[in-house]
Structure 1
Amino acid sequence: MDRAIAEWLLLAHPAPEQARMEWATQSVALLPLGERFAAVRMASDVVHSAVGSADRDEVAVRLGELLGGSIIYDRRVLGGTYYALIQAHAGLVWAYEDVATCLGQGTYLGVPCLSRQQPPGSYWVVPPRYEGDLCAPRAIVALIETGQSRLSEQTVDA
C-alpha cells in the first residue's frame, strides 16, 4: 500500500526518478503543485488555536479528524507551517485567499518520504492513507476561520 501511495506522490514530478533520489538522499523531494494536487498553507498558531493544542500528537489526531486528508508540517518556514493537500483544480478556483493561501501551478512543495512522520525537518502530520488522500477545502476553511477567531478573541482579552 505504501508503495502505491509513494508512486502516486512521485508521479507529481515530471521526472519521478529524480524525486525518488531526493527522498533517498534528503528524505524530502520538491514536487510541483497544480497537476496531481495543490496545498493550502496554514500558520501553526492558527492551527494550534483551532485544535486547542500545540502538542504534536494531539494536533495530528485533531487534524486527521477535522480535515480527513494528508497534511505536512514544516517548522523551518515562517515559525512553523502546515500544508493541507487538496485537489489540484481547487488551486485554480480557491476563493479563500483572505483566509489562507493555496499553492498551485508554478509552486513546488517539499514533500517528505512516507516514513518521515516526526521531526526534525518536514514530516507528515497526517500521512496519506491511500492514493489521492486529500483534504476537503471547506473543512480547511472552517478550521482556519475557527483558529483566526480564537486568536482574535485572545488578543481582545489580553
Structure 2
Amino acid sequence: MGESTAPVPAPRSSPETPLPTGRELLPVACWLAEADLNPGKVWAAWEKHGVALLPLGRRFDAIRVSAEQVHEVVGSDEAETVARVLRAWLEGPVFRDFRSSLGPYYVLIAPDADWDGPAERLTTGTYLGVPRPGHSTMLSRWVVLPPHPGALCDTRYLRTLLASTDSLRTVDGW
C-alpha cells in the first residue's frame, strides 16, 4: 500500500470553542427550519415532539456514521469525549439518533459537497428527523450544535477522521 502525498487535515478548532446558547441558537433553528418550504410545520413539530422531519438536499445533506465507527475513531463512547473530538475535527453540526443503543450519528454537510467516504450519504428525496437546537429528546440529541446559520461540516475532515479508524486497525492488527 502506497503512502499518500496529500496533506492530512488536522483538527480545526480548540476543544474550548464556545458553544452557542439561548438567543444564539434562534438564528440556527430558523435556518434549519427553512430547509422545509413550510418552516411553521417544523416549529410545530419541534414544539410537540422535539424532533422535526426535514427534507435533505436543499440546505444540507447528511452522512450517517455508525456509532461503532465514531466510538472507535474517538477511542471512547463517553458523550463529552465524543462531542469534544467531533467539535474539534468537524466544527459543524452533528447529532445522534438514540432510538437504539447503537444509534448512528448524522453529520450535516453541504448538498453540493463531494463525498466518497465509507459512510452513507443521505440527500434529496430523504427526510431526516432533526432535533431542535438546544433541546434533547429521547429520540435524538445534538452532539455538536451548528455554531451559526449555514455552518456545515467539511467532508475532507470527516473523511480523514473516519479513515483513521482503518489506519488504526491496520497498525493494531484488528
Whether 2:127 is the aligned partner of 1:108: answer yes
Of the three residues 30, 47, 50, the one matched with 1:27 is 50
Q: CA RMSD in A?
A: 1.8
Distance change >3 Å, CA 77–CA 104, structure 1 → 2: farther
Of the three residues 138, 152, 158, the one matched with 2:156 is 138
- 1:105-136 deviation line (CA, Å, top 9, x unaligned): 1111111011225x632010001110011111
2:143 aligned residue: 125
Whether 2:26 is the aligned partner of 1:3: answer yes
Paired residues in the alignment total 151
TM-score by length of 2: 0.80
TM-score by length of 1: 0.87
CA contact (8 A) 1:19 1:29 kept: yes
Q: Find the aligned partners of 1:121 and 1:47 in 2 and give their Cα distance.
A: 18
1:46 aligned residue: 69
1:95 aligned residue: 116
Decide which structure has greater helix share: 1
Instruction: List runs of 5+ in structure 2 lacking aligned partners.
Output: 1-23
- 2:109 is aligned with what amino acid? I
SS in 1 for 2:156: helix
SS in 1 for 2:112: helix
CA contact (8 A) 1:69 1:126 kept: yes
CA contact (8 A) 1:46 1:148 kept: no
Q: Find the aligned partners of 2:100 and 2:162 in 1 and give their Cα distance.
A: 18
Give me the identity figure in percent. Answer: 37
1:71 aligned residue: 94
- 1:95 is aligned with what amino acid? D
Instruction: List runs of 5+ in structure 1 lacking aligned partners.
Output: none
Q: Find the aligned partners of 1:75 and 1:152 in 2 and give their Cα distance.
A: 30
Could you tell me how far 1:80 is from its partner in structure 2? 1.6
- 1:105 is aligned with what amino acid? T
